[in-house]
A and B are shown apart, each in its own frame.
Chain A
Amino acid sequence: MANVLVVAETRGGELRSVALEVVTAARKAADASGGGEVHALVFGAPGTGAAVQDSLGRHGADLVVAVESAGLEHYDAESLAATTAERLRSGGYRAGFFAASAQGRDLAPRVAAALGVSLASDVTALELSGDALVVQHPVYVGKAIATLRLTGTPALASIRPGAVTAAEAARTPRLETAPPASDPASSRVRVREMLARGDAKLDLGEAPVIVAGGRGLRAAENFRLVEELAAAFGNAAVGATRAVTDDGWRPATDQIGQTGRMVNPNLYVAVGISGAIQHLAGMRTSGTIVAINRDKDAPIFKLADYGIVGDLFEIVPRLTEEIRKARSGG
């Protein structure tokens, strides 16, 4: 029997989808160990715990521990790390799970260092096995998958967004409040403001569909074709290759690949992308991959489930039209 603590990430008072994925993973690990409890630690302004309690319970949390303070409206690395470490230390937990999101990748190593334990980072699968946590972790930018063995208690892991599918396992969770272990007002590192990044409604990490463009588009203004196709899907985000973001056609935050974002949408449409290793590293785990490229020998076609060879300036507008029709039931 193993109790598992998760940090359920919120932003602006709302749960992020990765929080439900991590709770799902914790529920499975606790059940597999013979029925431990899942406790979800939530940080935010007053009221956050009550707002997210039902959703966390529906995905398998037995207890929601709300750490609420006006000073925790934004992510406060030092206060969250001290509080999470303290809870793990005093609560007798077998394991602690985080999302390997921008926040979790920052938080988890701090917690591990505070506890003097090691961390399995950015894992795609995990299992408690005897005195070890055994995980899968992509190495060499996704070219190989390592099976790692982590010893020590608590066993800490951060889980790659999208690697676990959130599933329901209904509970009626208890709600408990706890003070932060260190006052956010005394933190040395402090978030001063949130910065807007473009007008994208859907984040690359969360969009079910991604339409990404490469050099084959020839000029920044031709990204209009990619945006129109994304709009036709209705649930798509726009991504780009490194070549494109390096040239300033798109902001750096749009970059998918080894040095950019790692994504795994249900559908990935690669437009004018030849398929450099650096790009493939960021999208190879996508559900279905479609490639449109003029060069039939482009490496992207080796990875793609479906390919169309030809002039993207003719193919993409036609695809946009057909997707629009398909979505309107035509």
Chain B
Amino acid sequence: MKIAVCIKRVPDTEMRFAIAGDGKSLDQAGLKYDISDFDGYAVEVALRLTEKDGGEVAVICLGPDGVQETIRKAFSMGAARGVQLKADTVPFDGSAIAHALAAELRDGGYDLILFGRQSADAGNGTVGPMTAHLLGLPCVTAISHLELADGRGTAHRELEGSAESVEFPIPAVLTIDEGIARPRLPSLKGIMAAKKKTIDVRPAQLGEERLTVQSMALPPERAAGRIVGEGPDAVPELVRLLKTEAKVL
């Protein structure tokens, strides 16, 4: 089984978060980057499938040279091949990204193409299904469970308050939700092997950008809250405030 996983490098905003002077991007100073969380799950799903049934995992990442570090992380987990689709910046518009990925994937002969459900930075969740459409492949999004047998797959999708079981033929495009497979930590052996692997670099054939960032701002601050009191004796006052001030009871 030949599997491609499309991964994204995203800034780690847990440590530091500031908006740049241009008012529409993130201040880059001192930022660290990592693989987008759902994409890590997608890499893990791909590795488990090929460990079970044989085959190979290729990772594809679009962006500037910094993304090679993200590709090497996937190598150290066990990915065999890596492709950088080189672009100075990653567009915000998912359809522009999907065009570049589809061009790379079209003649790749992949049985499965995996994505994370959505990225941790732009959070659009559009690139997977858009790429599937461009490739003419069936697509199932946000899957929490996957089984493959005899050229067909069954996946579960979580809905609000329920879930659906979905059947699809292979080849297919799948986007991966959390809960399906916790990503492994790179092994020492994997890290050593990752250093020896080469990354194919090709220019990204981006589509037209029709969705652009005009400005970026911090969310409105919530009014300062207050500690009503300590221990169970504070409960009646809390209930009074919920009733008369917040009016939510």
Interfacial residues, chain A to chain B (CB-CB below 8 A): 11, 16, 74-75, 77-78, 101-103, 105-106, 108-110, 112-114, 117-122, 134, 137-152, 161, 188-197, 200, 202-206, 209, 245, 252-253, 255, 258-260, 266-267, 277, 284, 287-290, 296, 301-311, 314-315, 317-319, 322-323, 326-327
Contact = CB atoms under 8 A, between A and B. Distances in A.
Given A190-B166, A310-B231, A314-B232, A287 B248 contact: yes
A194 B142 CA distance: 15
Given A102-B157, A112-B130, A307-B228, A140 B121 contact: yes
Contacts of A148: 92, 211-214
Nearest to A253: B158
A65 to B, nearest CB: 23
A149 B211 contact: yes
A contact face: mostly helix, strand, loop, or mixed: mixed
A131 B165 CA distance: 41
Contacts of A102: 142, 157-160
Contacts of B172: 189
Contact of B225 (A145, A195, A306): A306
Contact of B125 (A16, A109, A138, A200): A109
A143 B38 CA distance: 18
A308 B229 contact: yes
Given A259-B38, A305-B225, A288 B214 contact: no
A307 B226 contact: yes
B contact face: mostly helix, strand, loop, or mixed: mixed
Interface in B93-131: 93-96, 98, 120-126, 128-130
27 contacts: A105-B141, A105-B142, A108-B126, A113-B95, A113-B134, A119-B126, A122-B123, A148-B211, A149-B211, A149-B214, A161-B160, A189-B166, A189-B172, A191-B165, A195-B165, A202-B161, A204-B160, A205-B161, A245-B179, A258-B37, A288-B242, A301-B225, A302-B225, A306-B226, A308-B235, A310-B231, A314-B231
